[in-house]
Amino acid sequence: MKVFAHRVLLDSAWAKNKTLIIENGEITDIVDGQLDDAIVASGPVVPGLINCHSHAFQRAFAGFSEQGSEGQDSFWTWRKIMYQFLAQISDVEAHIIAKQLYIEMLKAGYTSVAEFHYLHHQQTGEPYPALAQMAKALFDAAQESGIGITMLPVLYQYSGFGEKAPLDGQKRFINTTEQFNQLVTDCYELSKQYNNANVGIAPHSLRATNFAAIEQAVKHVRSLDSKAPIHVHIAEQTQEVDDCIAHSGKRPVQWLCEQLSLDANWCLIHATHITADERKAIIDTGAVAGICPTTEANLGDGVFPTAEFMQEGGTIAIGSDSHISVNAVEEIRWLEYAQRLTRRQRAVLANKAQASVGLNLWQAANRGGALATNKNTGVLAVGKQADLLVLDQQLLGRYAQSDEHLLDSFVFATGEQAITDVMVNGQWVIRDKKHDLETQSHEAFSALLQRLSS
């Protein structure tokens, strides 16, 4: 396949009048001018965004927890409602929800997703006949939608620090370390049946497991893949930080970095409440900070110190997490806006090398996302996977059009409605803002919501 673009954001900079030559899902060459048999992109071409953090089933839960409780609502009360909701979901429902979500992601600018998957077992808490049955439902949904997936089975064993017994609402998450490692192996073997799929692990959090189990799980997954992604929830809530200090005498990121050998394929999700020393510790290991701005705002988590972290050389990635919003540009926009609100300044996340906030953050999030998923994507360059978006030239034409302003117009002025076409792994999955399966998927999803809410 050949795709000609009048304007294309390459790894180094914007370029004009280039043809991307794509074979077996990969960009094999980029040449000047329009080749005779090339498909002509209708607008500017940019790399698709990598979504570093997803709990797919929570998309069906969006909107069910916004009623409030006289100022007493919090992450922890939200979690109780979420547990009640997920108790109804089987592998069949999980597939319907994930398929709808992944189609929405593609239309919104995501071309790859890291699925932080902890809904493992039957409603009773008993394992399915096949340990990876729920994971298979998500693999199937990704394959059918066309999105790339990094499956992250979650190690979850306790309800709190000190190895507290799991709550009833957590029974579907729980595995022994040995059972978990078997699940990871099963997912790893299963992934070979799918295109554009790989596997890592996700120790849920320091409160939900212990270091002995994490060490064993890391050793096991790295025996399967030496660069397997490893993600963990860390320091999302101040209560979590306080509980960690009470249990260990140390803050979560401090404890994690001292106890384990982190590297660039580790992703610390919601490292919201960290000190300057903890920022430095993350940066020194090369680990990625996974930030989920709309979910962190929706849950009242707090604001990650993005400006300081990036100025000090830290690597970020972006996730949509609970999917209260499925909109790649909104996550980028609110990453910047949160910094503006706390600092009462503008254009905070630009720098001397890149004055455009939109361009700087789009590229930074993709660099980190590629590390956090161990995927050969995130930029448009020879040797990289062909994951790209075609933007709506007519819509963007209402706003600033020069190279230095185009991504800012996309992120801050138009949003996801400016995406016309999406290619993943060399295959068109969105054309003229439509997915082939979106009507069928939407109908199944809507019927499911009616059943779940009745």
pLDDT tens for 209-231 read 999 999 999 999 999 999 999 99
Burial tier of 245 (Cβ tally within 10 Å: 0-12, 13-18, 19+):
middle
- Are 40 and 145 members of one domain? no
**Domain presence at residue 448:** no
Maximum distance among all alpha carbons in the chain?
68
- Are 289 and 156 members of one domain? yes
- Candidates 53, 120, 231, 270; catalytic one: 270
pLDDT for the residue numbered 386: 98
Digit-coded pLDDT (tens) for 129-159: 999 999 999 999 999 999 999 999 999 999 9
- Are 40 and 126 members of one domain? no
Distances (CA, A) of 129 to 97, 119, 134, 352, 367: 22, 15, 11, 56, 39
Digit-coded pLDDT (tens) for 384-418: 999 999 999 999 988 888 988 999 999 999 876 89
Reduce the DSSP state of residue 208 to 3 states and report it. Answer: coil
Of all residues in the chain, the percent with pLDDT exceeding 70 is 96
- Are 42 and 52 members of one domain? no
Is 270 labeled as catalytic in the residue annotation? yes
- Are 277 and 395 members of one domain? no
Count the domains in the chain. Answer: 2
- Among the three residues 316, 350, 373, which one is the final residue of a domain in this structure? 373
- Candidates 186, 321, 392, 408; catalytic one: 321
- Are 306 and 289 members of one domain? yes
pLDDT surpasses 90 at 122? yes
**Domain presence at residue 423:** yes
pLDDT surpasses 80 at 40? yes
The CATH number of whichever domain residue 172 belongs to comes to 3.20.20.140
pTM score over 0.75: yes
Averaged pLDDT, 357-366: 97
Query: Rounded distance, CA 345 to CA 313, Å?
Result: 21
Query: Rounded distance, CA 454 to CA 443, Å?
Result: 17
Q: What is the DSSP letter of 60?
A: G
Residues 6+ apart with CB under 8 A from 320: 51, 53, 54, 105, 110, 292, 294, 295, 326, 327, 328, 331
- Are 114 and 216 members of one domain? yes
The CATH number of whichever domain residue 37 belongs to comes to 2.30.40.10
pLDDT for the residue numbered 135: 98
Residues 6+ apart with CB under 8 A from 143: 194, 195, 197
**Domain presence at residue 319:** yes
Contact between 159 and 167 under an 8 Å Cβ cutoff? The reply is yes
- Are 364 and 418 members of one domain? no
- Are 198 and 161 members of one domain? yes
**Domain presence at residue 453:** no
**Domain presence at residue 379:** no
**Domain presence at residue 378:** no
φ, ψ for residue 381, nearest 5 deg: -155, 160
φ, ψ for residue 425, nearest 5 deg: 55, 40
- Are 137 and 92 members of one domain? yes
- Are 310 and 407 members of one domain? no
Digit-coded pLDDT (tens) for 232-282: 999 999 999 999 999 999 999 999 999 999 999 999 999 999 999 999 999
**Which among 109, 149, 150 has a CA at the least distance from the CA of 9?**
109
Residues 6+ apart with CB under 8 A from 272: 235, 236, 237, 296, 301, 302, 303, 304
- Are 26 and 62 members of one domain? no
Query: Rounded distance, CA 203 to CA 156, Å?
Result: 7
Which domain, by its residues, includes 20? Answer: 2-46+388-438
